Amino acid sequence: MSLRDDLSGAQDAGRKNGFLACENMNLTLILFCCVYVALAIGHFPGFRLDRTGAVLAGAMLLVASGGISPEAAWNAVDYRTVGLLFGLMVISSAFSVAGFYDWIAEQVGNLDIRPEALLAVLIVVTAGLSAVLTNDVVVVAMTPMLVSICLARGFKPVPFLLGFCFAANIGAAATLIGSPQNMIAAEALRLSFVSFMQAAALPAVLGLPVIWGALAFIYRGRWRLAAAGQATAMPHAPARLDKVEITKAAVVTLAVIVAFVTTDFPHVAIALAGASLLLISRRVASKDVLQRVDGNLLLLIMGLFVVNAAMTSTGLPQKLLGELGKIGFNLHDPISMLLLMSILSNVVGNNPAVMLVLPFLDGAAHPLALGAAIALGTGFSSNALLFGSLAGIIVVEEGRGREVVISLGDFARAGVPVALLSLLVAGVWVAFL
């Protein structure tokens, strides 16, 4: 074979490899877009495929088509983030099984105080619980009891449910363990529990009066149901509190937080150790705790790691960011990140928004401010629209099941001013950091 033939064969092979690489890139881009369309609207159009199903189908098709190798897909899943989230979900679920959330809702709802004062107490309590325990678990567990109590007392449930939802989102932004997106960002930026709280807690606290002020103004003089027959309280069994399990869960939670603050042990190891202690019980079946863990969310996050890794391997995101950098947009700039998170969270959701920027967080000059921008941007902006957060969807769906309707307009009328004002506070704080 001549040298000319060798060169010709090499050129043909190069063209073939280039064509295959281009085809893989195109398929990866198509699958990536399909996944995020499903994330944005809640399902894939024309199919009974929800967010989690769409992400998993996309990830598996990328592996099957060669968009990412099986080994690369496996390595793309950050075990630290998934393990931390799972451990903290188990801890939160232990409180739910023991009746803690129902009991808290009952105690707050039965306070003999004016509606405005009751709203203030509800906001503070909800924010505190969401900062220490996963906010979505708090919302799932407490919403039914709150609806029943409001109707039984003749109060309109809508302002209280909105305050509850907004406080859960804003309060969760205060700590590393308040929400899944916080955990994802903190693990990526290697932020400690204390440093994260120092960066995000103050603006979260300042956001609570904003919630109360907006709702108190919008619903002034309209707290009570117009007629006794307008709505009826659905029966709800009194809260049954398992004091032994509550004590055990509280001790484990305190130990986990202390370990986060005072030791250098990996966060995932601490969370899993706490979860294992709560699963070992003579009084509560482990399946009762585990069935309250949001397995769909865990699978969604694992699938997104794979989908985003495949997209990153094409080089397209890097090129896009390079072009954006020419006009002054930089993902390592905290203010730019705050704006991006505020927009993306209301398009694809909190967790997917954070997952999108994960590959570009390495080497950040200001990781603390960047972490605060991510937590505050996702947590605060998600109050603007009904589908901006899982907490909002849960509250609306639970209310609808009890004949309490919160329309898109009702949510946005209060949510938009709350989101804009709290984001203004966040912007000033992030600029200060």
Let me know: does 336 contact 301? Beta carbons within 8 Å: no
Query: What tokens does 392 get?
Result: 């909002």
pLDDT at residue 227, as a whole number: 59
Query: What tokens does 418 get?
Result: 């709350």
Question: Which of 201, 177, 266, 215 has its CA nearest to residue 418?
Answer: 215
DSSP 46: T
Q: If you search the block for the tokens 């989908």, which residue do you land on?
A: 307
User: What does the alpha-carbon distance between residue 73 and residue 305 come to, in Å, rounded to a whole number?
Assistant: 8
pLDDT at residue 170, as a whole number: 94
φ, ψ of residue 42 in degrees (nearest 5): 95, -15
Average confidence (pLDDT) over 273-291: 91
DSSP 91: H
pLDDT at residue 344, as a whole number: 80
User: What does the alpha-carbon distance between residue 115 and residue 220 come to, in Å, rounded to a whole number?
Assistant: 10
Q: If you search the block for the tokens 């966040």, which residue do you land on?
A: 426
Q: What does 232-252 look like in DSSP terms, one character per residue?
A: -PPP-PPP---HHHHHHHHHH
Beta-sheet strands, E only, within 153-199: none
Residue 389 CB partners (closer than 8 Å, separation 6+): 165, 169, 345, 349, 350, 382, 383
pLDDT at residue 2, as a whole number: 56
- Indicate whether 168 pLDDT > 50: yes
Query: What tokens does 129 get?
Result: 């619980």
Let me know: does 134 contact 89? Beta carbons within 8 Å: yes
C-alpha dist (Å) from residue 290 to 151, 271, 298 = 32, 15, 13
Let me know: does 246 contact 100? Beta carbons within 8 Å: yes
pLDDT at residue 10, as a whole number: 45
pLDDT at residue 20, as a whole number: 46
Query: What tokens does 288 get?
Result: 């009762």
pLDDT at residue 3, as a whole number: 45
Domain ranges of the chain: 68-432
pLDDT at residue 238, as a whole number: 64
149-165: pLDDT as tens digits: 888 888 889 999 999 99
User: What does the alpha-carbon distance between residue 336 and residue 344 come to, in Å, rounded to a whole number?
Assistant: 12
Mean pLDDT taken over the chain: 84
Residue 228 binned pLDDT confidence (cut-offs 50, 70, 90): very low
- Of 227-236, 255-264, 325-334, 335-344, the poorest mean pLDDT is in 227-236
pLDDT at residue 179, as a whole number: 85
Let me know: does 146 contact 110? Beta carbons within 8 Å: no
